[in-house]
Amino acid sequence: MSKANKDNRHSKFRLALIDDRTHQHLLNIHFTRTSFAVAIISILVVLTAIIYSIIAFTPVRTFIPGYPDAHSKRAAIQNAMRIDSLESVIYRWELYSENLRRVVEGEEPLKIDSLINAGKTGRERTADLTELEIKDSLLRQQVKEEEQFDISDRDKRNLPIEGLHFFTPLKGAVSQQYDPAVHPYIDIAAPAGSVVKAVLDGTVINDGWSEEAGYTIQIQHDGDIISIYKHNEKLLKKTGDKVTAGSPIALVGNTGSLSTGEHLHFELWYKGEAVNPAKYINF
């Protein structure tokens, strides 16, 4: 009895392929229950791996319902940019309507900083105001330290900013205009590697890298004017270098966490206040 059970446990099977007319054996496959199970599992694993690879690494995955394709991703980015623009418009209208109400009721109008804090909770407004005050203090301290270069040249006759001839820092398309409340600078889109030029004669007072602005260079000009160029791919001048109007100072890039594409972030400061560069420069 024990021997019979042993034979049953190790019984073998044969799969034969025979020609029906000649009765010739074309294929013989010998297997046991264990080997058959292993073969089936191996085939399933291989098929699963092949199907996964096709879906994961080929364009076939775009046919899966709900999977985003390149067009969907591009549309999502464009929609996000439109939402940001709409939020800015809404903030400006809220400030306008609130100031109109205050004027009608004889109250004091809101300050421009209220636009930035519109629609936020009291805690968020307090935190943002504190952050803005810190950044403003740091910028003023930085400008004060930069005066150690003593490049203002007080013995010369300084013309007002309206009487100066500015060179265009970069030939390109203005992707975002100046807004004194939410965007006090100009963004100029141009191919990566395009040459950025100094708008006036001056001295480089700061060059370096920051997480948000990427490679940045700042130039002090006569008449208490400062120009700032951010998100560059490479800087061509260093702190202390003298530059002339129209001379190359950097190359356009897409550096910094706040950059969303190849462009130049350009700021123009006059007597400690940000001004609209489009009033003095033909972009």
Residue 97's pLDDT is: 79
- Measured distance CA(244)–CA(202) in Å, rounded: 6
The answer to whether the CB of 186 falls within 8 A of the CB of 174 is yes
For the segment 53-69, the average pLDDT, to the nearest whole number, is 70
Show the tokens assigned to 190.
């141009």
| Rg, the chain, Cα only | 35
Backbone angles phi, psi at 17, to 5 degrees: -115, 115
204's enclosing H/E stretch is strand 202-210
Residue 94's pLDDT is: 78
For the cut 90, the answer to whether the pLDDT of residue 56 exceeds it is: no
Q: Which amino acid, 225?
A: I
Residue 154's pLDDT is: 45
Residue 127's pLDDT is: 57
Show the tokens assigned to 185.
């600078």
105 HSE (CA, 13 A, CB side)? 10
Confidence of residue 47 (pLDDT cuts 50, 70, 90): very high
For the cut 90, the answer to whether the pLDDT of residue 111 exceeds it is: no
For the cut 60, the answer to whether the pLDDT of residue 200 exceeds it is: yes
Show the tokens assigned to 275.
């001004």
Compute how many other C-beta atoms are within 10 angstroms of the C-beta atom of residue 263: 25
Q: How far is C-alpha 125 from the geometric centre of its chain's CA atoms?
A: 25
The answer to whether the CB of 128 falls within 8 A of the CB of 118 is no
Q: Which amino acid, 282?
A: N
Angle at 209 between CA 207 and CA 210, to 5 degrees: 125
- Domains observed in the chain: 2-62 (no CATH), 70-147 (no CATH), 152-279 (2.70.70.10)
pLDDT one-digit tens code per residue, 123-156:
555 556 667 677 667 766 766 665 555 444 444 4
Q: To the nearest whole number, what is the mean pLDDT of the chain? A: 80
Residue 9's pLDDT is: 53
Residue 63's pLDDT is: 67
pLDDT one-digit tens code per residue, 225-278:
999 999 999 999 999 999 999 999 999 999 999 988 999 999 999 999 999 999
- Measured distance CA(189)–CA(235) in Å, rounded: 18
For the cut 80, the answer to whether the pLDDT of residue 25 exceeds it is: no
Residue 162's pLDDT is: 81
